[in-house]
Amino acid sequence: MKNKILKFRKDKGFTQDALAKKCNVSRQTINAIENDRYDPTLQLAFKIARVLNTTVDDIFQP
Amino acid sequence: MKNKILKFRKDKGFTQDALAKKCNVSRQTINAIENDRYDPTLQLAFKIARVLNTTVDDIFQP
DNA sequence: TTCAAATGTAAAAATGTCTTTACATTTGAA
DNA sequence: TTCAAATGTAAAGACATTTTTACATTTGAA
C-alpha cells in the first residue's frame, strides 16, 4: 500500500522518531510503514493521518 | 473502532455474505468487524469502503 | 407456524503487525 | 572533513487479524 507519509511528515518538519512518539509507536514502525514494508493497523493509520492533519483516504493509496 | 458497515450495507441491500464475497473475505470476517470484535486490516478497510461507495474515514470512527 | 436464509459465535491454525534490541548507513551542519 | 542526528534494516517474540469448519440462534416471508 503506497502512502504519502514522507511528504506530509516533511511538511510538518517531523523526524520519523518525532512522528513515532506522537503516534505512540516505535521509530521502526514508522520507518517500515513509510518505506512500504508493511501496512499499519487501521488504528495506527488513523493516528498517523490525524497527527499529520490529513485523512486516511488521502495519505494511503491501496 | 466503531463503524457504519451495517448502515451502508443495508442501504445497498447486501447480506454479510454478499459483502464478504465482494471483498474476497469470509462472512465471519465481515460479521466480526461489523460487530466490532476486531478491526480490519487497512487493505480490507479500503475494500469495504469502496464496495460500499464511501471512504475509510467516513465508514470507520476511531 | 414453518422453514430457509441470515446472522452470531467458537476454536485452531496461518499470516501479518508491532516492539525491542542492536547495528549499519546516510545526511547535513559546523 | 568530521561528527552527531537521522534513517535503514534484521531477528525474535508478543499480539492481532483472517480463514476454515462447525454449530446455534434469529428473522421474515410463505
In tens, the pLDDT along B10-57 reads 999 999 999 999 999 999 999 999 999 999 999 999 999 999 999 999
Sketch the domain layout of chain A as residue ranges: 2-61
Read off the pLDDT band of B61 (50, 70, 90): very high
The predicted pLDDT at position B30 comes to 96
| Section A41-46 average pLDDT | 95
Span A45-54, pLDDT tens digits: 999 999 999 9
Spatial distance between the Cα atoms of B33 and B25, rounded to a whole number of angstroms: 11
Read off the pLDDT band of A37 (50, 70, 90): very high
Q: Do A41 and B43 touch (CB under 8 A)?
A: no
Task: Kindly give, in sequence order, each residue whose CB lies less than 8 Å from that of residue A49, ignoring residues fewer than 6 positions away.
Answer: A55, A56, A58, A59, B57
| Section A13-30 average pLDDT | 95
Handedness of CA A61, A62, B2, B8 (dihedral sign): positive
The predicted pLDDT at position A25 comes to 93
Spatial distance between the Cα atoms of A28 and A26, rounded to a whole number of angstroms: 5
Nearest nt by C1' to B38 Cα:
D17
**Chain D positions under 7 Å from a protein CB?**
5-11, 16-22
Closest approach of chain B CAs to the CA of A13, in angstroms? 25
The predicted pLDDT at position B25 comes to 93
Spatial distance between the Cα atoms of B62 and B49, rounded to a whole number of angstroms: 15
Strands (E), chain A: 2-3, 60-61
Residues of A with CB under 8 A from a CB of B: 1, 39-43, 45-47, 49, 55-57, 60, 62
Q: Do B46 and A39 touch (CB under 8 A)?
A: no
The predicted pLDDT at position A59 comes to 97
Q: Which CATH architecture has domain A2-61?
A: Orthogonal Bundle (1.10)
